[in-house]
Amino acid sequence: MVEFGVAHEPLKVGEEWHVIGRCVTDIHVGARFTEFVPHHKRAGGEVGSEYVCDDASPVDLTIVRILAYGKELESWSAGLTAKLVLRGSGDNLGTFGSLCG
């Protein structure tokens, strides 16, 4: 299983999706995501607010590049931030949530 937390609105550039966020698990070029799970802040708006997950939406995206700290990498570790370049069907991507596969 692979998971990547999306922190900014994904950008479509030609046939590719550019997604910025944090690795929840270790990731590598060639890994495939099959769903996007949107997250949103629970009503109440207090400090330390709780985030909840909505229903998953299907995607079919493969990592073609991992970019971090001015370098292109073949793999990247859980807990670290990165920009992923993905190819495939990602029309269900949202601004904040998790890509899972």
pLDDT of residue 49: 61
**Phi, then psi, of 91 in degrees rounded to 5:** -65, -20
- For residues 2 and 90, is the Cβ–Cβ distance under 8 A? no
Selection from 59, 73, 63 nearest residue 30 by Cα? 63
**pLDDT > 80? residue 18:** yes
Q: What would the pLDDT profile of 44-79 be if each residue is shown by its tens digit? A: 656 656 777 788 899 999 999 999 999 999 999 999
| Residues making up the chain, counted from first to last | 101
Residues 6 or more apart in contact with residue 88 via CB below 8 angstroms: 17, 32, 59, 60, 61, 62
The pLDDT value recorded for residue 22 is 96
What band does 89 get if pLDDT is binned at 50, 70 and 90?
very high
Section 6-25 average pLDDT: 96
- pLDDT given at position 53: 74
